[in-house]
Amino acid sequence: MRGYAIRRGFAALIVVILVSVFVFIMMHLLPGDALLVKLGQTGRIPPDRMAALREQMGLNQPLYEQYFRWVGDIFNGSMGHSLIFDGQTVSGRIGDALPITLELGVLGLLAGVVLGVPIGILSAVYQDRPIDYGLRVFSLTGLSLPQFWIGLIVIIYGTRYLGYSPPTNYTGLTTDPIQNLKDMWIPALILGYGLSASTARMMRSTVLEAFHEDYVRTARAKGLAGSRVVYRHVLRNAVIPVITLVGNQTAYIFSGALILEILFGFPGLGQLTYTAILQRDYTQVEGNALVTGGIVVGINLLVDLSYGWIDPRIRYV
């Protein structure tokens, strides 16, 4: 177990390093120049001043030097300075935005599990009956529609006919938790709907498989009520695949949260990345991508390591 954890952690570290190299290379292939955007805001600046600024921002150095300087900045905690906003560190701006995205992601995940698990169980219990077909169509629809489009429709038709108004000013969770959740629940539900499809599929097939296991047959044979068999014997064994799925879906949840945030106007990581890309704020985009990539790798690592704790039968080689 210990050896496995170390090996697995080492692999995760390599993946994070690769992510940082990818992101860095991609961003430095970008056309356009942060400096020009910056100057666009402050007016015309003479060429010698421009060269000095370039020097100061480190845009003249060879790529590998810029990369290592960036890595140095990651380790001193600032992740560099925003190229556009003077005096703001990349990590500072991520620190403001990330909690919003994480909150939306976690709420969406909860909604997905709360919707998906019962749908999957009902589908399996009523296998091949109308209720099963109905639920499968419902969850497959969630997988087939873009989440931002559902949000768009909710905003357009909700404001027209239901008196709904999308949040105009974001309220922080710590400022006013009630208002915050009022703003959050609709995008979270949309995110969860998309997620529930795969959870329900996984749950349905696991439960169906479990129905054929010997221990379930034994439980039935000794006269246990149907619902008790499902709760005591089937569900426990369905936890592992669902957790695996959640691990695999981290990047998907992130993608959904990032785009819903932009639609609903929450100042989270999606919004921050989107504007940073439009402004060619290299260091900010690099920081954002690295942090999201790092979180995804970290969660997958935790999921892998948690198997042995959840199911003692699992042994690592």
Partner 1 sequence: MAELAQEQLSFPVQRQNRTVAWVISFARRKPLSAIAAVILIAACALALLAPVVTTHNPNIGNLGEHLQSPSMSHILGTDEQGRDEWTRIVYGARTSLAVGLGAAFVGTVIGSLFGLISGYVGGVLDMVIQRVMDAIMALPAIILLMVLATVLSPSLRNVTLAIAIFIIPSAARVVHGAVLSTKAQVYVEAARSVGATPGRVMLRHILPNVMAPIIIVMSITVGAAIIIEAALGFLGLSVAPPTATWGNMLNAGASSAMESAPWLALAPGIAIGVTVFSVNILGDGLRDVLDPRLRGKGH
Rounded CA-CA distance 167/182 in Å is: 9
Q: In the chain, what is the greatest distance between 2 CA atoms, to the nearest angstrom?
A: 88
Answer for which of 1, 52, 76, 157 binds partner 1 (CB under 8 A) is 157
User: Does 317 sit near partner 1 (CB under 8 A)?
Assistant: no
Q: How far is the CB of 309 from partner 1 (least distance, A)?
A: 23
Restricting to residues 132-151, which ones interact with partner 1 according to CB under 8 A?
A: 136, 140-141, 143-146, 148-149
Distance CA 97, CA 103 (A): 10
**Based on C-alpha coordinates, what's the Rg of the chain?**
24
Enumerate the β-bridge partners of residue 89: 81
Of positions 94, 199, 262, 268, contacts partner 1 by CB under 8 A: 262
CB of 29 to partner 1, least distance (A): 5
The nearest distance, CB 32 to partner 1, in angstroms, is: 8
Q: How far is the first Cα of the chain from the last one, in angstroms, to the nearest whole number?
A: 8
Contacting range for partner 1; rule: CB under 8 A; set: 45-53, 75-83, 107-115, 252-260? 252-260
Q: In the range 10-49, which residues lie near partner 1 by CB under 8 A?
A: 11, 14-16, 18-19, 22-23, 26-27, 29-31
Question: 3-class SS at 128?
Answer: coil
In whole angstroms, how close is the CB of 105 to partner 1 at the nearest point? 10
Binding to partner 1 by residue 288, rule CB under 8 A?
yes
> 7: which DSSP letter?
H
Name 80's Cβ contacts closer than 8 Å, sequence gap at least 6.
Answer: 70, 73, 89, 90, 283, 286, 287
**Only segment of 48-56, 81-89, 153-161, 229-237 that touches partner 1 (CB under 8 A):** 153-161
Pick from 57, 113, 245, 258 the residue near partner 1 by CB under 8 A.
Answer: 258
**CA-closest candidate to residue 91, choices 303, 270, 283:** 283
Helix (H) or strand (E) holding 228: helix 226-229
User: Which of 112/270 has CB closer to partner 1?
Assistant: 270
Cβ(104)–Cβ(257) below 8 Å: yes
Residue 256 to residue 88: CA distance in whole angstroms? 27
Please report how close the Cβ of residue 296 comes to partner 1 at its closest, in angstroms.
4
Helices (H), the chain: 2-28, 34-42, 47-57, 63-75, 90-125, 130-144, 147-157, 177-211, 214-221, 226-229, 235-248, 250-264, 269-278, 282-310
Contact status: 102 vs partner 1 (CB under 8 A) = no
Q: Are 173 and 180 in contact (CB under 8 A)?
A: yes
Which residues face 81 on adjacent strands? 89
- Of the ranges 7-15, 42-50, 81-89, 110-118, which one interacts with partner 1 (CB under 8 A)? 7-15
Answer yes or no: are the C-beta atoms of 308 and 1 closer than 8 Å.
yes
Say whether residue 220 binds partner 1 (CB under 8 A). Answer: no
Residue 79 touching partner 1 (CB under 8 A):
no
Q: Please check whether residue 170 is in contact with residue 100, taking contact to mean a CB–CB distance below 8 angstroms.
A: yes
Q: Which is nearer to partner 1, 16 or 240 (CB)?
A: 16
d(CA 242, CA 309): 15
Shortest approach of partner 1 to residue 286 CB, angstroms?
Answer: 9
Q: Least separation, in Å, of the C-beta of 175 and partner 1?
A: 27
Q: Which residues bind partner 1 (CB under 8 A)?
A: 11, 14-16, 18-19, 22-23, 26-27, 29-31, 123, 136, 140-141, 143-146, 148-149, 152-153, 156-157, 159-160, 201, 204-205, 208-209, 251-252, 254-255, 258-259, 262-263, 270, 273-274, 277, 280, 285, 288-289, 292-294, 296-297, 300
